[in-house]
Amino acid sequence: MQTDIWVAIILAAIGTYALRVGPLLWTQRHFNKHKASNTEARLPTWLSVLGPLMIAAMLGTSLIPKVPSASSWFATVVGTLVTILVWRKFKSLGLPVFCGVLSFGLALTATFNWL
C-alpha cells in the first residue's frame, strides 16, 4: 500500500476516535463538576434530542445500498431483519450488529453466486 492511503486511514481513525471521545469527556467533566458542588447533574435537552436524531440519520444512510441492485436490496433486508430479531431476543448491541452484518454478507455472497 502506498503511504498516502495509510495516512488517510490513520487520519480517519483519529477523527472517528475524536468524534466519539469528545462528547464522552465533556459529559464526564460536566458530571464531575456537579458532583464536586453537590448539585444534581442532568444531560442537556439538546443532547437527548440530537443523539437519537444522529443515530437515525446514520441508520438511514447505512440502509441504502451503495449499488442499488436486487441482490444488494435483498441482502439489506435480510441483514436488517436478522439484526432486529436478534436484538429483540437479547436486548444488547454487539450481538445483533454482528449477526446482522454477517447475515448481510452471507446473503450478498449467496445472491451473487446464485446469479
Whether residue 41 contacts residue 34, with contact meaning beta carbons closer than 8 Å, is answered with yes
DSSP 8-state assignment for residue 68? -
Tens of pLDDT, residue by residue over 5-39, are: 889 889 999 998 988 888 888 888 888 888 888 88
pTM attached to this predicted model: 0.55
47 has a pLDDT exceeding 80: no
Q: Where are the domains of the chain?
A: 1-42, 51-115
| Helix H or strand E encompassing 93 | none
